[in-house]
Amino acid sequence: MENYSPQKDFLVGIDSDGCVFDTMEIKHKECFIPAFINAYELQGVSRFAREAAEFVNLYSKSRGINRFKALVEQLDWLSKRPVVKARGVKVPHPEGVINWIEGETKLGNPTLEKAVEATGDPDLQKALTWSRTVNEAIAEMVRGIPPFPYVKKCLERFAEAADMLVVSATPNAALEAEWEEHGVASYVRAICGQEAGNKKETLQVAEQYGENKSLMIGDAPGDHQAAVANNCLFYPINPGNEEASWKRLYEEGIDRFLEGTFAGEYEKSLFDEFKEYLPATPPWPVDQN
């Protein structure tokens, strides 16, 4: 992206997991969470560990955040749950991972591997082992999941006027496999996963386009934050209502974006609706101490 320059008048950034593909549930419930429970010795509170991980990654305002940030957050929520404390199960506090996250923007296995080699930190090593296990499980489990209805129609419409980028926190290899498998990779100029940096960094190319000529499509608050940080418009794909969201984008959102009537009240109404889908706090009791 260092030598990036616009080829068309508009820019569209698109998240992938849970946005283009209905992969969030299967990846987290079948791949991330079993590996999490095993790696962090949470068998004694597996039900609560699963609930914490599902809340963070699927059903809260943290939906879609980087896997290592999510790992820290779900451990934190789990440690605050009274029923977990009552069972006497020690929930790890991965200080090494927390410190690494604070100092690194490219939060992926390649940079984590270098940090492990440089420090030998056991927290980092455990997180790397967990992350590798997740990737192996995803490669074995996740396949045959097509884009949501109306996605391809939207890509075809956008392709006439906009440069498109995949802007995701997923590893590049998984993104490339999914987009190639379903014949939609050819619509985008680049696939930018976690190795390319965070979403905010990827969307910095929006500054090369005119006002209100960049749009981020996403299903999580982090997508909106990255858009706002780069003066991009934001179109939400509402979790649990993805098909209707893509249909609305195809039928009215694209025209509004290309014709210059997206910003303002229309965008605000979409975001106000989106905010109602994801809570900030879990539905179970939390110990504040």
What would the 3-class secondary structure string for the chain be?
CCCCCCCCCEEEEECCECCCECCHHHHHHHHHHHHHHHHCCCHHHHHHHHHHHHHHHHCCCCCCCCHHHHHHHHHHHHHCCHHHHHCCCCCCCCHHHHHHHHHCCCCCHHHHHHHHHHHCCHHHHHHHHHHHHHHHHHHHHCCCCCECCCHHHHHHHHHCCEEEEEECCCCHHHHHHHHHHCCCHHHCCEEECHHHCCHHHHHHHHHHCCCCCEEEEECCHHHHHHHHHCCCEEEECCCCCHHHHHHHHHHHHHHHHHHCCCCCHHHHHHHHHHHCCCCCCCCCCCCCC
Exposure string for 163-197, b = 16+ CB within 10 A, e = fewer = bbbbbbbbbbebbebbbeebebeebbbebbbbebb
Predicted confidence (pLDDT) at residue 63 exceeds the cutoff of 70? yes
- Chain centroid to Cα 218, Å, comes to 8
Q: Is the pLDDT of residue 195 over 90?
A: no
**In terms of DSSP bridges, do strands 162-167 and 10-14 run parallel, antiparallel, or are they unpaired?**
parallel
- Is the pLDDT at 288 greater than 80? The verdict is no
Residues 226 and 146: their CA atoms lie apart, in Å, by 26
Q: Which is more confident, 194 or 191? A: 191
Give residue 289's pLDDT: 64
Average pLDDT over residues 220-231: 95
Average pLDDT on 43-66 reads 95
pLDDT above 70 covers a percentage of the chain that reads 100
CA distance 181 to 99: 37
- Flag the least confident range among 41-45, 178-182, 194-198, 244-248: 194-198
Residue written as token pair 């949501």: 148
- Is the confidence at residue 4, as pLDDT, over 70? yes
Average pLDDT, the chain: 95
Q: How far is CA 67 from the centre of its chain?
A: 8
pLDDT at 37: 98
Prediction pTM value: 0.86
pLDDT single digits (tens) 100-156 = 999 998 899 999 999 999 999 999 999 999 999 999 999 999 999 999 999 999 999
Mean per-residue pLDDT, 235-243: 96
Residues 6 or more apart whose Cβ sits within 8 Å of residue 170: 16, 17, 193, 194
The average pLDDT across 216-233 equals 96
Task: Tell me the pairing of strands 214-218 and 233-236.
Answer: parallel
